[in-house]
A and B are shown apart, each in its own frame.
Chain A
Amino acid sequence: MDDAPAPILRMRGICKEFPGVRALSDVDFRLLPGEVHALMGENGAGKSTLIKVLTGVHAVDGGEITLDGAPVSFSGPLAAQQAGISTVYQEVNLCPNLSVAENILIGREPRRLGRIRWKEVRRRAAGLLARLELDVDVSAPLSSCSLAVQQMVAIARAVDVSARVLILDEPTSSLDAGEVEQLFRVMRRLKAEGIAILFVSHFLDQIYEIADRMTILRDGRLVGEYLTSELGQVELVGKMIGKELKDLETLENAPKDIAAAERSRPFAEARSLGRPGSVEPFTLTIHEGEVVGLAGLLGSGRTEIARLLFGADHATTGELSVGGTPVTLRTPRAATNHGIAFCSENRRAEGLIPDLSVRENIILALQAARGWARPIPRRTQDELVDKYIDALKIRPADPDRPVKNLSGGNQQKVLLARWLIVEPKLLILDEPTRGIDVGAKAEIQRLVVELSDGGMAVLFISAELEEVLRLSHKVGVLRDRRLVAELPNDDHLTTGVLMETIASGGRS
């Protein structure tokens, strides 16, 4: 470890606390010159917080940051930039109305007596882009360039400002394969020039292609620093999720009547359904009474599949048939009319209306389905709401309480109740148990089993592999926005197998 060159940047014992959350506790991190260092972890593991602490967006609560051996503390991204640490974000922070050359050099234009020398600006910008092996017309407005080129322009600017440490925060998430390749070429060049690059990406393949070393975070804690060549993908996934492989394989697995589910009529069939850039074409059949689980890391395309099936996004390829007839779902409303319901992952932002009461939130979807011209009689409302408060054990059992006063688990149940009273034929549950307590979790799981026994098709999305395994008849595995495998949940399927499939991308 000590034969490596001295690190440019070292963070020791970094702690950061937000009200109620310990975002980082005692994290160490170092960055060597001329390396690409991947920062790994699931969402919420503390990657963004670490970057923000490093670039001065947030102040540190504890620990020290040293740059070239001298302790530093930045007042903001600007100060960090001046000290030699530049960040390129996923969203390109440039001015689309200005030319490529100006975007690279604005604020540092070569001048004579205060007059900007445009020829010199264009020459220098072209020179910088040539150094990154890019051939772009520097006088074109930035808005006319592809996202990849804009990303490169941002990098060119960052490198020109300060060529020491470059932070790339998910630069590849909206690039296609060719563009990613181009970005990697640029990264390798910069690396060869001795620039230290901190790289964040959800795509494991990309990490293994470009990174020399990685630091893994989990729940705001340091898991460890590894050489990419010495850590396999399965171990990496295990360390990110926080479960050792052998622990997972011993978990019990309730027997499922897979054959019965397969025998029943298919409810929804997606054939090469897809939306490139969001999720690659996939083929998936969901039978009546069948629970189909979707497993994969965050950002692997799980939610995107759900949104396509619910009509929240439009599919650009392939076809979907519901109940045997081909349909085109243009809006969630159309999906609702076909008996498809969707409990979104983000219950606060996309589902519940916090100021309305439990009753109002529950009847919302049913009322919408009936149309506003035919209000639901109060007595029917009371009967329905009482029935589901009872069935789902929503606590407190007070239909008039504003939903915002309920706990997360109970809010989730209210959202579930809303969709259950419209009696859907396919229920899509996106992370229904995230952030809720163990008791509520178990109740929701029990409910999923009951519903599928009653003939309802369920698409169950969860980051917790055990949960997916416990409930599903079959599991679709996603990786890098592609459905890489569809595994029947028989005796051989374990969380270990799932993890291996996620890590290997279905290649064996």
Chain B
Amino acid sequence: MSSDVLTAGRSAVLRGRQRYLPVLVTAGLLVAMFTVGGLRYEAFASGQIVLNVFIDNAFLLVLAVGMTFVILTGGIDLSVGAVVALSTMVTATLMTDHGWSPLATVPLVLLIGSALGLAMGCVIHYFDIQPFIVTLAGMFLARGLCYVIGTDSIPITEETYTAVAQTQISLPGEMHLSVGVVIALAVVLFAAYMLHYTRLGRNVYAIGGSEQSALLMGLPVARTKIAVYTISGFCSALGGVLFSLYTLSGYGLNALGMELDAIAAVVIGGTLLTGGSGYLLGTVLGVLVLGLIQTIISFEGTLSPWWTRIFIGLLLFVFILLQRLISVRRS
């Protein structure tokens, strides 16, 4: 009988690989999309196309990183799109209308975003309310605050800021990157390190696995849950800064529905909505898939941009079903 126990341990190694399956599927999908695009359109199969996907989606990538933390604990954050809009508004109004320096503006914006996240995290944990409804309230709050600042689009003309926005970092092979991409990738690397090499990161996974167990195992559940929403708030604010670098303006209607794009990217990247399973690499791939869909549709030329939504919708269905199949097989 003890040999049964032993074999269970061995076959576990094989089953452990199943954990990487969703990420592998997303990677495969990405390669397939790129191959199809390369065969179908001239000038598609170039490194710059991939880099452009990064450039156009740097802010989404940062949002999705924060969302990954939240979803790994089994929660959700609907406020991120609105916080992005609020951040662009605050950035634009402070620099354009009040003449603030970017060095003062950006830290303040990041602080506002983190504080909002912290507040929502506290409400979620201490009052034991579903994250869905708390962050929905946060979303209305942040979106409403945008209109308190102004109902029109505010252009950003501050010199240093525009200079940073227009900086192109050259790479070999006549390719280039924006500052936003570098920041986004740095965030990804730092977050990946946090998730896999720090206690905070491991506690995030533990809570996603079973919050009750995490509590009984003596892990700091309260601190971790609040930290996760604070991180998401910070990422949203940083995403807002990147968004304002990208568009050089602030507007209350920016990033409408972007929280859903971020959630879609995380899910397509293989993170289970129930929490506890997923990787940041998957999230990066998920963002790339979303970006590549947009690119392909713009290359196609005749399709309306709304087809992007249709494809994202279909992909989400497929990936949710995939998640379901994997979790059914596990249990």
Contact = CB atoms under 8 A, between A and B. Distances in A.
Interface string A118-161: 00000000000000001111011101111011000000010001
Contact of A95 (B12, B13, B19, B210): B210
Contacts of A96: 209-210
Contacts of B212: 93
A137 B13 CA distance: 8
Interface stretch (B2-10, B39-47, B156-164): B2-10
A503 B293 CA distance: 71
A93 B13 contact: no
B138 interface: no
B9 A140 contact: yes
A94 B12 contact: no
Interface string A173-195: 00011110110000000000000
Contacts of A35: none
A136 B1 contact: no
A141 B1 contact: no
Interface in B190-206: 196-199, 202-203, 205-206
Interface residues of B, number: 35
B165 interface: no
Contacts of B330: 143
A438 to B, nearest CB: 42
A40 B16 CA distance: 40
| Interface SS, B side | helix
Contacts of A144: 8, 11-12, 15-16
B1 A177 contact: yes
Given A106-B206, A157-B217, A182 B11 contact: no
Given A144-B11, A144-B12, A182 B1 contact: yes
A95 B9 contact: no
Contacts of B210: 93-96
Contacts of B219: 106-107
A107 B5 contact: no
A95 B2 contact: no
Contacts of A178: 1-2, 4
Interface stretch (A109-117, A206-214, A354-362, A394-402): A109-117
Contact of B5 (A106, A141, A179): A179
Contact of B16 (A77, A82, A139): A139
B4 A146 contact: yes
A98 B205 contact: yes
Given A140-B9, A146-B8, A181-B1, A95 B206 contact: yes
A72 to B, nearest CB: 17
A102 B205 CA distance: 11
B269 interface: no
13 contacts: A81-B218, A93-B213, A109-B202, A116-B198, A135-B9, A137-B13, A139-B13, A139-B16, A140-B9, A141-B12, A146-B4, A149-B5, A182-B1
Interface of B: 1-2, 4-6, 8-13, 15-16, 19, 196-199, 202-203, 205-206, 208-210, 212-214, 216-219, 276-277, 330
Given A135-B6, A144-B11, 15 more contacts: A82-B218, A95-B206, A96-B209, A102-B206, A106-B203, A111-B199, A115-B197, A139-B13, A140-B9, A140-B16, A141-B12, A141-B19, A146-B4, A149-B8, A178-B1
Top-6 shortest CB links A-B? A178-B1, A140-B12, A95-B209, A144-B12, A97-B209, A97-B276
Interface of A: 77-78, 81-82, 93-99, 102, 106-107, 109, 111, 114-116, 134-137, 139-141, 143-146, 148-149, 157, 161, 176-179, 181-182
